[in-house]
Every structure is written in structure tokens, then in C-alpha cells.
Amino acid sequence: MIAIIDYDAGNIKSVEKAMQLLGQEVTITRDRETIMNADKVILPGVGAFGDAMGKLRQYGLDEVIRDVTAKGTSFLGICLGLQLLFERSDETPGVEGLGILKGEILRIPDQEGLKIPHMGWNSLKFQNNGRLFKDIPEDSYVYFVHSYYLKAEDEGIVTATTEYSTHIHASVEQGNVFACQFHPEKSSDIGIQILKNFVEL
């Protein structure tokens, strides 16, 4: 069973539908026991970093996420779910992230001719043989919606990058913890293959 963490964030239903398309049993939940006993866990999200951390703490989910990742359960953060795994964000100065991974979330720099948020399709460059990208060709296009981007402390955990006004760490992998800044559930066949790779870990 795959647990999708429910902390009142948007985008949960589209992740659920994508997983059901792959034939997976899915539960949307904030129940500690259900999450701890799941085969895999997904933290989706759209919205603001500070509000999301507030909700995670309100529901006690910050500790659940730390515990389930420490236990070794395969864990996938999507979009805001990636950002929350890190230490801090320019979006909400003074609010600590989960700190499971090392790095910070920075605002995408203004550049003439480019709109922020970065919204739409962009291509990926691969590094460090990320397991989420098995059987996926480099330069594949995926769907992004974000105004803030990850700069990981350790380049060794970065598995995909993209360029939009700056060099963006678009996906990371450290042990059992995976995360994507883009939305695989909105990225057509490529995205479904990425989710399939996660399911088959």
C-alpha cells in the first residue's frame, strides 16, 4: 500500500489518480500508524513553504515523516514536497524545514524575458544514475510549476537538473528518500514511467 500524506495541500488527488493508473492501492492519510506501515510514502504539495510546515507540525506529521524515512521506507517528495525535505526556504525566512536532506530553497532570480513562476515543460539533464530515471532518455520534458528552487548542499544526491534563469536541482535521491521539483503526475508518459520506477524500487 502507498500512503499519500494529507496535510491539506493541493494536488493530492492527481497523485492518487496517477498511482491508481499504475494499479496501486493508495491511501490518503495523516494517520501515523498507516504511514509507518505503508510500503511506500509520498509527500505531494503545492503552496507556500511556511504554511505547509505549519500544517505538518499541527498534525504531528513532521515527526512521522522523520520516523518513516529513518525506518528505510521508500519516500517520494513532489514539488513543495521536495522543498519541505530541506532545511530552509527564501519563501518563509525563519521557518525551519524538515531538514532530512541538506540544502536550501532559493527564489528563482529575475531574468528579462522569463516569467516567474517557472511554469510549463522543461527538459532534464541526468547525473549520478538516479533510480527514478531508469529507462528514461536524457532531455526528456517534464512539467514544472514553482517560483523557488533547490540548491542541494551535496551535488552527490542530485539526480536531475534543469535550467531556468539559473541552474536548478530538479531531482534528488539519498538512500530511500527521493524527490522531484517537477510534477511527475502531470508529466504525461515520462512522468508515469518515473512513478512506475518509484513503485518498483
Mean pLDDT along residues 174-181? 98
Residue 10: what pLDDT?
A: 74
Residue 11 has pLDDT above 90, yes or no: no
**pLDDT mean over 97-105:** 98
Q: What is the reported pTM? A: 0.97
Residue range 69-85: mean pLDDT, rounded:
98
Using CA atoms, how far apart are residues 26 and 20, in angstroms rounded to an integer? 7
From 115, 127, 92, 123, select the one nearest 187 (Cα to Cα): 123
If 0-12 CB within 10 Å is exposed, 13-18 middle and 19+ buried, where does residue 6 land?
middle
For 111-163, how does the pLDDT look when each residue is reduced to its tens digit (9 = 90+)?
Answer: 999 999 999 999 999 999 999 999 999 999 999 999 999 999 999 999 999 99
pLDDT value at residue 27: 98
Domains of the chain: 2-199 (3.40.50.880)
2 in Cβ contact with 25 (< 8 Å): yes
CB-based contact 143:183 (threshold 8 Å) = yes
Report pLDDT for 9.
83
Give the single-character DSSP code of 137.
-
Q: Which residues are known catalytic residues?
A: 79, 183, 185
